[in-house]
Amino acid sequence: MLYLTVGKLGDLLEAASKSRKIYVPVDEEPGKSSYKLWTPGTTVSRGLNTTRSAKDFFFPQTENLAGFRIENKKIQVLDPRRETEDFAVFGVRACDAASFGILDKVFLSEPVDTYYKNRREHGLILTMSCRRPAETCFCSVFGIDAANPGGDVSFTDDGAGWYIEAHTEKGAAFLAGLDGIFEDRDPAGAEAAKEKTREIVGRLPLSGLKTDAFGGGKTKDLFDRPEWAELSEACIGCGTCTFVCPTCQCYDIRDFDTGREIRRFRCWDSCMYSDFTKMAGGNPRLTQKERFRQRFMHKLVYFPENNEGEFGCVGCGRCLRSCPIHMNIVKVMKRLGEDDHEQ
């Protein structure tokens, strides 16, 4: 089995960067990292997840969709779409790798979002197993294996290096072009490293979180639960939870007059914002309680209802770390999943 020692990572990234741009997690301050373009000398973070997820590579925070110019009383429609260059994202953890599957269900179902599809086709996902999952991680609750993150190529971390496996044709072609960097090792080492990860995951405080109260068909049970009022009471509607979340995919489309043309762009939006559902006829979600409920019902009930039981959360724990009022999906699940709730 292919194996890469820590000291050879720079060689791999250098060789890989000759055929495509390669993005790696880089520490910004203790405990905070973000994806940056790799160039010689870049130090790859050995921390866990990036502050913002890797969804930005496929569903960026802002992008131009179309342009309009009026000349001689004729409207010219400008299409800004170009074939995306090949690129790779290195160090994607199992939770974020699973989030791409959720985003695919939204953006690649009919009508296909060609902007997203273009990036998905050109992006190579290089995943990494989690050697030291955090106490805020609960991916296993949703059936995700932190030891087996998938993607195009996975890197199984044993502390001194990585066992490497291709999972797609794209991944195999990528590895085939990187001769002379890898060692050959007994796959038993990879299995031992995976078992270690699973053992830690099994002991994490949130690994026992129950999903039984949620899933398709639970709208009637959960929608009018009185606990929503108390859970949402302190929510300030900042939208941070939705922006750091790898599976949140709400957006807005607006026009901007540059003076020379009109640019139609889309940008991330949040169901936590008061004007998110505002329409000419009014707003169906007038209170923060309704908006808050929508976010969690979507991930825990509506999404699984429409996607063969798959939940819209991957247990990355980002919302647990970033909400200013310390509210998060785990608290919602625990509170609503309690057996002795008022009927």
Q: Which is nearer to ligand SF4, 186 or 230 (CB)?
A: 230
Task: Check residue 216 and report its DSSP letter.
Answer: T
How many residues line the site for ligand SF4 (CB under 6 A)? Answer: 25
How far apart CA 108 and CA 128 sit, in angstroms, is: 25
Q: Is 192 helix (H, G, I), strand (E, B) or coil?
A: helix
236 in contact with ligand SF4 (CB under 6 A): yes
Q: Which residue matches tokens 């791999």?
A: 12
- The DSSP bridge partners found for residue 155 are 128, 164
Residues 199-208: b if buried by 16+ CB within 10 A, e if exposed: ebbeebebbe
Q: How far is the CB of 282 from ligand SF4 (least distance, A)?
A: 22
Using CB under 6 A as the binding rule, the residues of this chain from 252 to 291 that contact ligand SF4 are: 272
103 sits near ligand SF4 (criterion: CB under 6 A): no
244 lines the binding site for ligand SF4 (CB under 6 A):
yes
Q: Which tokens hold the place of 93?
A: 């953890």
Sign of CA dihedral 89, 150, 196, 156: negative
317, 332, 333, 336: which one contacts ligand SF4 (CB under 6 A)?
A: 317
By beta-carbon proximity to ligand SF4, the closer residue of 130 and 319 is 319
Q: Which of 61, 325, 334, 338 binds ligand SF4 (CB under 6 A)?
A: 325
Counting contacts by CB under 6 A, is residue 205 touching ligand SF4? no
Q: Under DSSP, is residue 168 helix (H, G, I), strand (E, B) or coil?
A: coil
Output 67 or 317, the one with its CB closest to ligand SF4: 317
Cα–Cα dist 93/99, whole Å: 10
The stretch among 54-62, 116-124, 189-197, 242-250 that binds ligand SF4 (CB under 6 A) is: 242-250
Which stretches of the chain bind ligand SF4, using CB under 6 A?
Answer: 235-241, 244-247, 272, 299, 313-319, 323-325, 327, 329
